[in-house]
Amino acid sequence: GAVVSQHPSRVICKSGTSVKIECRSLDFQATTMFWYRQFPKQSLMLMATSNEGSKATYEQGVEKDKFLINHASLTLSTLTVTSAHPEDSSFYICSASPSGQGGYGYTFGSGTRLTVV
């Protein structure tokens, strides 16, 4: 079955530093990947749509200069949290669909717990 690998699973960083999170589709190609953010005991909020070979599409209210997304290949998308602050601490999850169509379901990564101290 379709597998999405996300790395790292946990990261602690100092305020002001940058953190990169990787999302890989292991056994399929994904022209589109999605990045979500989840606050404790809340639902997932779509941050941005990552498009291979082009710029990401950000949801309203998401700072594109703070959350840099790069989708350089058909199997890898990265999210970089720049100049991280404690309020950026959250659970970040990526997803992708083998078919490229959401109607057939997405596979999610296992998530990254970011703590900014």
Q: Which residues bind another protein (CB under 8 A)?
A: 4, 6, 32, 34, 42-46, 49, 57, 91, 93, 95, 97, 101-111, 113
Judging by DSSP bridges, how do beta strands 90-96 and 107-108 pair with one another? antiparallel
Please say which residue, 42 or 73, places its beta carbon nearer to another protein.
Answer: 42
Least distance (Å) between residue 60 CB and another protein: 13
Please say which residue, 1 or 86, places its beta carbon nearer to another protein.
Answer: 1
Least distance (Å) between residue 30 CB and another protein: 12
Least distance (Å) between residue 93 CB and another protein: 6
Q: How far apart, in whole angstroms, are the C-alpha atoms of residue 111 and residue 42?
A: 14
**Residues 71 and 58: beta-carbon distance below 8 Å:** no
Q: Report helix, strand and coil shares of the chain as percent, to nearest 5.
A: 5, 50, 45
Extract the tokens encoding 6: 């996300």
Extract the tokens encoding 90: 């959250």
Nearest Cα to Cα of residue 80 among 11, 1, 2: 11
Please say which residue, 6 or 25, places its beta carbon nearer to another protein.
Answer: 6
Please say which residue, 23 or 81, places its beta carbon nearer to another protein.
Answer: 23
Least distance (Å) between residue 108 CB and another protein: 4
